[in-house]
Structure 1
Amino acid sequence: MKLTAWAVERDGERGRNVHLLVTVEAESDAPRAPVAMNLVLDRSASMRGAPLAAAVEAAQLLVERAGPKDYLGLMAFDGVPEQLVPLKLMDAEARAELSESLSALQAGEGTALHEAVDSGAAAVRRLFIPGARPKLLMLTDGEPSVGPRSLADFRTLGGKVAESGITLHALGLGRHYLPEILEALTAPAGTGFTHVDDAEGLPVAAAALVAELFGEVGTDARVYVKPMGFTELLCRHRYPARVEGDALSVGLGSLSHAFARRALFTGRLELADWSLGVTTTWTENGDTRRVSVPVQRVLPDSTEGRFIRAVGAELDLVAAESAAWKSLVRRNPIAAEQSLKVAEEALRELVRLAVDAVPAKRHVERLADLKLAVERRASELPALMVRRARAADAHTGLSIIQPAIPIRKAGN
């Protein structure tokens, strides 16, 4: 693993602050672990036609990329979930069966989202493959219409799935799914969810997920930060956090080749003489690794200092953007305008810093749409923009925004 911890000291609104950025990145040549993954695909009436065809194409990418030690299964759901193919080792026969079952999918009626996730996870739990990573990949384009529908129910379910050791990934398609539900399901696993505007974008989104799903090197990554000389310490990213003894412990989730995990901490100083002790742990090949990471103090205008500032600015931007959309939904235009100003200032800061790894341009289009909605005080909000913003907020908050990696089909 590549491990770094950079700290920069700066003036804050309530005194002197220290910003600490911890990065954990898998080596590109580290061997990946096999996966045991259940594909949970929505085949409700709204998926009929192009959406279902695109979902099948995206799922076929996963089948093609799966290795000979991977296990895949297929559950489809409308008003009732159905395990069409149990989790099987991806030999030639199983690969052909799964591909054929995907091609034969037809749309039905109803959306039993809660039961589908619960049943899909149960199928994964029933099969133990030593060394394999249990996973669930769910795709939906609609709101639940059958079974539990409250956000609290889905939060409970997301926690239950994560506690059982299963990592849940989710794709939300179009304008009708509820981003709050996907966030509730995926946040406990530290994955966030992916938004796709339309059926044409599904293969690209699936390609990025393939890189993450089939590139996993370690699991249960955690960072421990022990502060000395501070009055408080906060983790800016929304990873699950807890206090353990005299340290703040933050769970980063899984580590994949394509996705560095970063955690930004901000602490308010009490003493001029301060220190931060950083330790990381993760599980790799069945063994728990524990490594102390030396903290390098950097200047605000150094390359590392500008990177820390850019990560913080991006977190501010997407949080304010999401807050603005929420205010518009609640018919509170004044609060939306205030949040928009915060987001625009954060965008300007990203432009000033010009850090290649945190590009400002990926936020420009969304903020332009938000500004137009705020200026018009739109009575009918563009649902795609709201969901896109919520997905960006979820991913940035969990430090997993990365460019999509092209996947070449077998035989090309």
Structure 2
Amino acid sequence: MKLTAWAVERDNEQGREVSVLVTLEADADAPRAPVAVNLLIDRSASMRGAPLVAAVEAAQALVAQAGPRDYIGLLAFDGVPEQVLPVRAMEPAAKTELAESLSALETGSGTALYEAVDLGAAALRRVLVPGARPKLLLLTDGEPSVGRAAVSDFRQLGSKVAESGLTLHALGLGRHYMPEILEALTASSGTGFSHADDAEALPTTVAGIVTELFGEVASDARVHMLPSGFTELRCRHRYPARVEGDAMSVALGSVSQASLRRALFTGRLASAEWNLGVTASFIERGDTRLPSVPLTRVLPDSPQGRLVRAVSVELDLVAAEGAAWKALSRRDVDGAGRSLNEAEAALHELVRLSVEEVPARRHLERLADLRLAVERRVAELPALMVRRAKAEGARTSLSQVIRIPINPKKKVEH
């Protein structure tokens, strides 16, 4: 595992400030962990036709990559969740049966989302695969219409899932799912959620998640920060965090070859003399590692310093973008315009910094859509735009940085 901590010291309006970017990156030749996944697939009425076909094809891509050390189960849900197949080893006969069960799925009515996640998690907790972090992969295109539907209930469920040792990944399709619910479910797992505009985009989006799952080399990653000479220290990313005496501990989740993890911290200085003790912990090949992370002080305009600043600016951008959409939902067009201006200023700063690892271009289309909505003073928000923006904001805020080209048809060798 490659671990770095780069610190940039700068002046701001409140005095002297330090920004520290901690990065965990898997070694390219590190062996991946086995996969243990329960697939939760929405088969409600709104999935009829192309959406369900695309969902099945995307799930088949995951099954195709699985080897005999990997475990996959299938839960399908409409108004009633059903564990169609248990979580079990993907030996040839089991892979064939799972592929056939996916192809045979038919739509029903209703969406029992809460019950599906709860039941799927319970089924997964009954299976122990040594070396694997058990995961739920949820795919839905609709709002819950059966059972619990409050965001607070899903937030509690997401916490329950994470505290029981599971990780939840979610993908929302189209314009009808509730991004607030998917964010509530995934926040405690530190994964964020993904979005696909339509059935055509679904296989590629799922392929990104599959690549992430099949590249995992470490789980339960956590960063510990012990400051000296600071008046305060904050974690800018929205990972689950806790205070441990005079230190801060932040849970980053899993680290895979398909993505790296970053956590940005900022703090105000109490004196010219300061220091940060940075350590990490994670489970790799069944063993708990507790490495120290050397802190390197870098100049603001050095390549490393520009990366630290770019990550900070991107977080400002998605926060302002989210505030603009929220203001529009309240019919506060003036407030949306102010937040949009902040987001566009951050975008211009990203362009100026020109950091390859934090490309400004991935935000261009969304901010252009937002500008159009503000200028037209829309009475009804474009659902796809909002969901796309919220999904990007969730994943950026949790710093899930995909860095490997995705080829969903490529089979992983074992």
TM-score scaled by length of structure 2: 0.98
What is aligned with 1:181?
181
Task: Give runs of aligned pairs for residues 271-350 of structure 1, distance below 5 A.
Answer: 271-350=271-350
Task: Report the Cα distance in structure 2 between the residues aligned to 1:276 and 1:352, rounded to whole angstroms.
Answer: 29
Task: Give runs of aligned pairs for residues 123-162 of structure 1, distance below 5 A.
Answer: 123-162=123-162
What is aligned with 1:224?
224
Deviation at 1:129, TM superposition (A): 2.0
Partner secondary structure for residue 199 of structure 1: coil
Report the residue type matching 2:271 in the other structure.
L
Structure 2 residues not aligned, in runs of 5+:
none
Task: Report the Cα distance in structure 2 between the residues aligned to 1:170 and 1:359, rounded to whole angstroms.
Answer: 24
Task: Report the Cα distance in structure 1 between the residues aligned to 2:338 and 2:400, rounded to whole angstroms.
Answer: 27
What is aligned with 1:267?
267
Alignment deviations for residues 289-310 of structure 1 (CA, whole Å, 9 cap, x no partner)? 1111111101110000100010
Task: Report the Cα distance in structure 1 between the residues aligned to 2:178 and 2:131, rounded to whole angstroms.
Answer: 34
Task: Report the Cα distance in structure 1 between the residues aligned to 2:321 and 2:112, rounded to whole angstroms.
Answer: 31
What is aligned with 1:16?
16
**RMSD across aligned positions (CA):** 1.2
Report the residue type matching 2:366 in the other structure.
R
Report the residue type matching 1:334 in the other structure.
D
Task: Report the Cα distance in structure 2 between the residues aligned to 1:67 and 1:22, rounded to whole angstroms.
Answer: 33
What is aligned with 2:193?
193
Task: Give runs of aligned pairs for residues 202-241 of structure 1, distance below 5 A.
Answer: 202-241=202-241
1:367 aligns to 2:367 (yes or no): yes
Partner secondary structure for residue 252 of structure 1: strand
Task: Report the Cα distance in structure 2 between the residues aligned to 1:411 and 1:30, rounded to whole angstroms.
Answer: 14
Task: Report the Cα distance in structure 1 between the residues aligned to 2:89 and 2:286, rounded to whole angstroms.
Answer: 20
Partner secondary structure for residue 308 of structure 2: helix
Q: Which moved more, 1:127-136 or 1:298-307?
A: 127-136
What is aligned with 1:71?
71
What is aligned with 2:99?
99
What is aligned with 1:406?
407
Deviation at 1:132, TM superposition (A): 2.1
Partner secondary structure for residue 22 of structure 1: strand
Deviation at 1:409, TM superposition (A): 4.5
Contact 1:64–1:409 (8 Å) recurs in 2: no
Deviation at 1:276, TM superposition (A): 1.0
Contact 2:130–2:286 (8 Å) recurs in 1: no
Contact 2:283–2:289 (8 Å) recurs in 1: yes
Partner secondary structure for residue 200 of structure 1: coil
Task: Report the Cα distance in structure 2 between the residues aligned to 1:304 and 1:351, rounded to whole angstroms.
Answer: 16
Task: Report the Cα distance in structure 1 between the residues aligned to 2:2 and 2:132, rounded to whole angstroms.
Answer: 23
Partner secondary structure for residue 389 of structure 1: helix
TM-score scaled by length of structure 1: 0.98
Partner secondary structure for residue 133 of structure 1: coil
Deviation at 1:286, TM superposition (A): 1.8
Deviation at 1:67, TM superposition (A): 1.6
Deviation at 1:407, TM superposition (A): 2.3
Deviation at 1:323, TM superposition (A): 1.1
Q: Which moved more, 1:263-272 or 1:329-338?
A: 329-338
Runs of at least 4 residues off by over 6 Å: none
Alignment deviations for residues 219-263 of structure 1 (CA, whole Å, 9 cap, x no partner)? 111111111111000000000111112111111011111111000
Partner secondary structure for residue 200 of structure 2: helix
Task: Report the Cα distance in structure 1 between the residues aligned to 2:129 and 2:280, rounded to whole angstroms.
Answer: 26
What is aligned with 2:35?
35
Contact 1:61–1:207 (8 Å) recurs in 2: yes
Report the residue type matching 2:60 in the other structure.
Q
Alignment deviations for residues 172-211 of structure 1 (CA, whole Å, 9 cap, x no partner)? 0000000000000001000000010000011111111111
What is aligned with 1:171?
171
Q: Which moved more, 1:126-135 or 1:303-312?
A: 126-135
Task: Report the Cα distance in structure 2 between the residues aligned to 1:306 and 1:295, rounded to whole angstroms.
Answer: 16
Closer/same/farther in 2, CA of residues 23 and 401 from structure 1, 3 Å limit = closer
Partner secondary structure for residue 292 of structure 1: coil
Task: Report the Cα distance in structure 1 between the residues aligned to 2:290 and 2:342, rounded to whole angstroms.
Answer: 39
Contact 1:239–1:251 (8 Å) recurs in 2: yes
Task: Report the Cα distance in structure 1 between the residues aligned to 2:61 and 2:293, rounded to whole angstroms.
Answer: 38
Q: Which moved more, 1:51-60 or 1:31-40?
A: 31-40
Alignment deviations for residues 362-409 of structure 1 (CA, whole Å, 9 cap, x no partner)? 000000000110111100111000001100110000001425522224
Contact 1:61–1:409 (8 Å) recurs in 2: no
Task: Report the Cα distance in structure 2 between the residues aligned to 1:393 and 1:34, rounded to whole angstroms.
Answer: 29
Task: Report the Cα distance in structure 1 between the residues aligned to 2:37 and 2:69, rounded to whole angstroms.
Answer: 12
Report the residue type matching 1:362 in the other structure.
R
Report the residue type matching 2:147 in the other structure.
G
Contact 2:24–2:260 (8 Å) recurs in 1: yes
Give identity over the alignment, percent. 69
Task: Report the Cα distance in structure 2 between the residues aligned to 1:402 and 1:32, rounded to whole angstroms.
Answer: 16
Alignment deviations for residues 293-337 of structure 1 (CA, whole Å, 9 cap, x no partner)? 111101110000100010001111011111110111111112211
Task: Report the Cα distance in structure 2 between the residues aligned to 1:409 and 1:260, rounded to whole angstroms.
Answer: 21
Task: Report the Cα distance in structure 2 between the residues aligned to 1:53 and 1:152, rounded to whole angstroms.
Answer: 32
Task: Report the Cα distance in structure 1 between the residues aligned to 2:128 and 2:320, rounded to whole angstroms.
Answer: 43
Task: Report the Cα distance in structure 1 between the residues aligned to 2:220 and 2:170, rounded to whole angstroms.
Answer: 19
Task: Report the Cα distance in structure 2 between the residues aligned to 1:341 and 1:236, rounded to whole angstroms.
Answer: 21
Partner secondary structure for residue 210 of structure 1: helix
Deviation at 1:133, TM superposition (A): 1.8
Closer/same/farther in 2, CA of residues 93 and 348 from structure 1, 3 Å limit = same
Deviation at 1:56, TM superposition (A): 0.2
| Count of residues paired in the alignment | 412
Contact 1:42–1:111 (8 Å) recurs in 2: yes
Alignment deviations for residues 328-370 of structure 1 (CA, whole Å, 9 cap, x no partner)? 1111112211110110010000000000110000000000000
